[in-house]
Structure 1
Amino acid sequence: MAQRSELGEFLRTRRARLRPEDVGLPDYGGRRRVPGLRREELAQLAGVSAGYYTRLEQGQSPNASEAVLDAIARVLRLDEAERSHLRRLARQKAKARRRPRPERLRPAVRLMLDAFGDAPALILGRRYDVLAWNRAAHALLAGHLPYEAPDQPGERPNIGRLVFLDPHTRELYADWRTKARDTVADIRVTAARSPDDPGLTGLIGELTVHSPEFASLWAAHPVQDCAVRYTREFRHPLVGAMTLNNEIMELSNDEGQRMAVFTADPDSPSAAALRLLTDLAAEKAQEPRLKSVR
């Protein structure tokens, strides 16, 4: 993924969402060739020359100062996630491509996952593959898939593919559009951190080709860490509506891996539904054993 193109695309999308009057510039009417602020207008407001800003947008000014980046962020009204994304893109330098190491789940992480018991929990890899899940997470998110799927590297469920290409997942989220946007925004952050990861680039290309919704959202360049969304509304086919808290934690000893955990508020209808779901999952897990006894 060309970092120069990423930086220019990001800045253009942010210029496009502002009108001259939004930032105190006079609007003389008439048709503008481009939506939003022109490069020259942004440069004027940020206190830099138009030529300098153009070179920055083209990725030709890798040594832009913090003061310049902050001024541009201020004019564009970027939030904190967008400011961090701007700095990352502006500072990114070309790196020698190296073959990424296969993702493995440490035994201690597996034990930690199992310790969550009835609380749905799963481990996500750096390319959004599900490296492991407990029975409750499998039942919540993908009971239509084999429970053992994460144990097979070539068959691992992928959150991006599930959200955009799997009909079950589309029906599972009550507000699928918000979930879809959050997923794209998080992939944007990850892609900026790992611009030369061929697996991640391949995933983005696949989703762009096969999902018009992904392609449209990707072009809008949303930026946000998915950890900021603390609750999700579900419409589960077995237990109905649930509102669950969603916490996502970085695994500091495992580069790029994260743990996601879902909980329900105590004594709530969602807690009762989640208990029922985990009971059903436990019964399903016992079925092969009962058949073998018979």
Structure 2
Amino acid sequence: MNELGDIGDFLRSRRARIRPEEVGLPGHGRRRVPGLRREEVAQLAGVSVDYYIRLEQGRGTSVSDAVLDAVARVLRLDDTEQTYLRSVARPAGTRRKAAARPAPQRVRPGLRLLLDTIDKAPAFVLGRRMDVLAWNALGDAVLGFSALSPKDRNMPRQVFLAPAARDLYPEWPAVAAETVAFLRLDAGAHPQDPQLASLVGELSLASADFRRLWADHQVREKSYGAKRMVHPVAGELALPYETLTVTGEPDQKLVVYTPEPGSVTEERLRMLGSWAATSH
């Protein structure tokens, strides 16, 4: 199986976004590729051209932190991109783990109880591949997880394949880009996951937007932010969110939408919760 975390494509995409003059190199003359050439990255990072080419070809699994730091500096990688680079540059441990069939994802009982105690905010737990593993009542009222099949309880599938996604998210292009960039992080940490490869293949066949965004190799954490939704019952909702890594379960994230106190969104969520409880 081809690895999902392709270091060559990632580094080439990052070279392409930097203009030579930004790093003190002449930008005039014919250039066969946009951005920096491999030779220029090697020169600026202080490594041999052959060494850098081996790294870009995925043959530098013993590369040192110092070299990765130098390449990251030249390519102006942010903290998340640097973490991704380390994951895809040295995936040997991930390859060994990939031989075993992935264990089913489970949410421990205490975390489920915690979800149920959050009654004023939509909340849910994301696992590997952005699968939705558990949710509270208000999270279900907003996003309808219980009405979906287990396979479809997956955020990328919902964003790119659900017919109502573009109506739910008025700023759909930003939500789509953020979703793919977060999925890329999972691919970097687990480059030989067959279920992730299947998901990426399915979405690539079904969505030209997904193909384009996946090929862009953006990587981004989702630690906090805000989403605007237009719910078919509650109307427009302005929802800041916080994403917390679950202690002891590094592949699980607790996502909580936190409406502003006293806001229209808070009132609409309260009404939505009452409506959902009555309809059930």
Q: What TM-score do you get using the length of structure 2 for normalisation?
A: 0.93
Partners of 1:121 and 1:133 within 8 A in 2: yes
Partners of 1:185 and 1:226 within 8 A in 2: no
2:99 paired residue number = 97
CA distance in 2, matches of 1:209, 1:4: 16
2:20 paired residue number = 20
CA distance in 2, matches of 1:252, 1:171: 35
CA distance in 2, matches of 1:156, 1:113: 21
CA distance in 2, matches of 1:224, 1:214: 16
Structure exhibiting the larger radius of gyration computed from Cα positions: 1
Partners of 1:131 and 1:156 within 8 A in 2: no
2:231 paired residue number = 236
CA distance in 1, matches of 2:87, 2:213: 21
Question: Where in structure 2 are the equivalents of 1:145-160 lying within 5 Å?
Answer: 147=146, 149=148, 153=150, 155-160=151-156
2:109 paired residue number = 107
2:186 paired residue number = 190
Query: Out of 207, 217, 222, which is 1:221 matched to?
Result: 217
The alignment yields a C-alpha RMSD, in angstroms, of 1.8
Question: Where in structure 2 are the equivalents of 1:252-271 lying within 5 Å?
Answer: 252-271=247-266
CA distance in 1, matches of 2:108, 2:4: 36
CA distance in 2, matches of 1:5, 1:114: 36
2:8 paired residue number = 8
CA distance in 1, matches of 2:101, 2:49: 40
SS in 1 for 2:18: coil
- Per the alignment, do residues 269 and 69 of structure 1 end up closer, same or farther by CA in structure 2, a change over 3 Å counting? same
Counterpart AA for 1:85: Y
- CA deviation profile, 1:214-255 (whole Å, cap 9, x unmatched): 10000000101122x421111222222221121112222335
Segments of 5+ residues of structure 2 without an aligned counterpart are: none
1:283 paired residue number = 278
1:165 paired residue number = 161
SS in 1 for 2:114: helix
2:141 paired residue number = 139
CA distance in 2, matches of 1:169, 1:8: 32
Segments of 5+ residues of structure 1 without an aligned counterpart are: 286-294
CA distance in 1, matches of 2:142, 2:266: 13
CA distance in 2, matches of 1:282, 1:263: 20
SS in 2 for 1:167: coil
- CA deviation profile, 1:89-148 (whole Å, cap 9, x unmatched): 112113251111112232222211111113111122212222222221112123xx6x26
Q: What TM-score do you get using the length of structure 1 for normalisation?
A: 0.88
1:290 paired residue number = none
CA distance in 1, matches of 2:103, 2:54: 35
SS in 2 for 1:138: helix
CA distance in 2, matches of 1:42, 1:70: 12
CA distance in 2, matches of 1:248, 1:39: 37
Query: Out of 187, 199, 207, which is 2:195 matched to?
Result: 199
- Per the alignment, do residues 171 and 56 of structure 1 end up closer, same or farther by CA in structure 2, a change over 3 Å counting? same
- Which portions of structure 1, spanning 4 or more consecutive aligned residues, are displaced by more than 4 angstroms? none
Counterpart AA for 1:197: D
- CA deviation profile, 1:46-94 (whole Å, cap 9, x unmatched): 1111111101101111121212111111111111111111111112113
CA distance in 2, matches of 1:120, 1:67: 43
Counterpart AA for 1:244: L
Structure with more contact order per residue of length (Cα contacts < 8 Å, sep ≥ 6): 2
CA distance in 2, matches of 1:239, 1:81: 35
Counterpart AA for 1:203: L
